[in-house]
Every structure is written in C-alpha cells, then in structure tokens.
Chains A and B, each alone.
Chain A
Amino acid sequence: DMKVTQMPRYLIKRMGENVLLECGQDMSHETMYWYRQDPGLGLQLIYISYDVDSNSEGDIPKGYRVSRKKREHFSLILDSAKTNQTSVYFCASSWDRGLNNQAPLFGEGTRLSVL
C-alpha cells in the first residue's frame, strides 16, 4: 500500500525545546520533501532530499535541519523551537528525479504548536 506516514500527528512543545518530526514511506521513493503550511502562504518547501545524505535547502530552511540515513525515512528537526514555527508540517515523497516529474505523494501532516 503506497503511503507516506508522519509521526506524531499532533505535538505541543514549549519554546526552546527540541522537536523531531518523522516521516516514512514504503515505496522506495528517492526524493522526499518537508513542507510547512500556513494560512495565506500555502505550502512552503523547507528541505528536499534526493536520497540518503543528499539534502538540499528549500525556500525556508532557517531554523530547521533534516536527516536522511535510510531511503525510506526522512526526519525534520527543530533545534530550540520558536513560537513562529507553530504550523502544520507535511512530508511528501516522489519517484526518481526526471521521471515524468512524478507528483509528490503527501502524508497526513503533523500539527505542531510551540507555546
């Protein structure tokens, strides 16, 4: 079953705490993404990963870092979370680069509140 799984689905943290958002996919997709979604701003790309240990900054990488040690797993880390990082975070994955530009498949999102 083709699926992108995000954990946790809901998370509340205090300002200054570290946050780990996890994403897994069972399709051996090379490319994985992290987006955040905010009202009026749409889906903004934080990081893109082309494969294990091959990560690239997106449009809003500041305050975030990522880790991809296995092809099926992509983590988003917030070191010392800030209140303006309260958002809904989406992970997505897609097939090999250049293969008819396959559309990303999205997870269900993680709703993060930083108090």
Chain B
Amino acid sequence: GDSVTQKEGLVTLTEGLPVMLNCTYQTIYSNAFLFWYVHYLNESPRLLLKSSTDNKRTEHQGFHATLHKSSSSFHLQKSSAQLSDSALYYCALSSTGYQNFYFGKGTSLTVIP
C-alpha cells in the first residue's frame, strides 16, 4: 500500500543554518499528491505546501519543496532557519482520489540560538 517515510525523527539546528527535512514515498498510482504540514504545539496541524507536478518547485512562507517522481521524494527546505520554525513537520501522500491521506511519522524540528 501507500506509505510515507520521514527518516529523521528529531532535527536540531542553529538559527540561520539551512533546513532540509527528508520525505520519500511509495505508491502504485501515478497521480501522487504530496503535502507538508506544520504542527505547532497546542495548535492544529496546518498545510504548509502541496504539489502534484513533477520537478516543479513550490514555495510558501519561506519554505520550498520540489516533487521528484523519479526518486519518489518531496524534501522540505528553507535557506535560513528561524527560532519560530521550531515545530513538528509532517509529510503526507494522497494518490487514489478517495481522499485517503497517509502521513509520515513526522520530524520534530528545534531551532536554537
């Protein structure tokens, strides 16, 4: 079945350094939609980015990601981490059109001064 892998469970970065959170996925369907959600403590998880177009960069709030279907990847990046980026980040996949969303286990990002 469909699945999402986020290799890093915990990432700690110094403010100002680049961010890269890994996401790979598996699906037997060709119409993969990939998403990044951000979850701040005591808030709702909310959509950060989404894409279904191969090799096209998508950006929002300083973060960007490019869906690469050849490598089944959708890594989240940011050029310079800020303290306010500390949160839990989820990568998610939807590919069947029946609205079944599969989330990865999440990566907890902590940015330190």
Contact = CB atoms under 8 A, between A and B. Distances in A.
Contacts, number: 62
Q: Is the interface of B mostly helix, strand, loop or mixed?
A: loop
How many chain B residues sit at the interface, stated as a range, is: 20 to 34
B105 interface: yes
Contact of A98 (B47, B98, B102, B106): B98
A101 B45 contact: no
Contact of B46 (A35, A94, A101, A106): A106
B28 to A, nearest CB: 16
B33 A109 contact: no
Contact of B98 (A40, A42, A50, A105): A50
Contacts of A4: 44
16 contacts: A35-B103, A42-B6, A42-B90, A42-B104, A42-B105, A45-B101, A98-B99, A100-B33, A100-B52, A101-B33, A103-B47, A103-B101, A104-B99, A104-B101, A106-B46, A108-B44
Interface of A: 4, 31, 33, 35, 40-45, 48, 50, 90, 94, 97-98, 100-109
